[in-house]
Copies of this chain bind each other. A is one copy, B any other.
Amino acid sequence: MAKRQARFTPQEVTGDQRLLDHSPELWRDGFGDVARGLLASAVRCFAANGFHATTTRDICSAVGLSPAALYVHFPSKELVLYAIARTGHESALAEVRAAAAEPAADAAARVRAVMARFTAWHARHHVAARVCQYELTGLTPQHYDEIRELRHRTTEVFRDVVRRGVADGSFPATDVDRVVRSMLSLGIDLVRWYRLDGADSPEQIGAFYADLALRMLTAGAPSEGRPGGG
């Protein structure tokens, strides 16, 4: 019978405070006013129900337009997702590159800056980031490859700052790829549960995760026995 039953109605999506668009600046450039509104609506819908469970009606009705209006601003639903994914990933990449370029006293400070800003970015933009991280199966293969390339560049920034710290003796020898994957996992997975009205601000959770990253890099492998405290 029915083909789709999205878990959240358009009304629920529109009314959910946790799905508010906290990322208007992401769509600042290259989009008109209406297109920006459609992107913001699409982000909320995709984050709540997923790309394939969201209809063009859902996206448009939230901004008071008919489904046909979408096609004046975007050639297809897939290109709405692509616009979100590309803009988001470019923004995250710019963030970690800026962090890596900050003046830093040493390798630990560089890792701290990159991890803190990567994490804070995902926390601040957690609704858009959820789409960027978990809805990529909605992209065409070509667009997916483009996003993969942006993700690869972000990973490389992490690898560089960690490798530098290992090379100059700031950190003990370690499996750089495995630790970098762990750092990325921490920053990414928080978009599944983070809420802006929770206990931690994006900067606080960023600082905490930067601490964790340094603990992962600097502590020796704990023994099977008593590793720590009192």
Interface residues of A (CB under 8 A from B): 4-7, 48-53, 78, 105-106, 108-109, 112, 134, 137-141, 144, 169-172, 175, 178-179, 181-182, 184-186, 188-190, 192-193, 200, 208-209, 211-212, 214-219, 221-222, 224-230
Contacts and interface: CB of A to CB of B under 8 A. Distances in A.
A228 B108 contact: yes
8 contacts: A7-B137, A50-B137, A112-B224, A172-B229, A186-B186, A188-B192, A214-B222, A218-B219
A134 to B, nearest CB: 6
A7 B222 contact: no
Contacts of A189: 184-186, 188-189
Contacts of A229: 169-172, 218
Contacts of A230: 169-170, 172
Nearest to A229: B172
Contacts of A181: 190, 193
B222 A138 contact: no
Contact of A228 (B5, B7, B171, B184): B171
A108 B169 contact: no
Given A50-B52, A50-B137, A108-B225, 19 more contacts: A4-B52, A5-B78, A7-B139, A7-B140, A48-B137, A49-B137, A50-B51, A53-B137, A109-B224, A112-B224, A171-B229, A175-B208, A181-B190, A181-B193, A189-B189, A215-B215, A215-B221, A217-B228, A218-B222
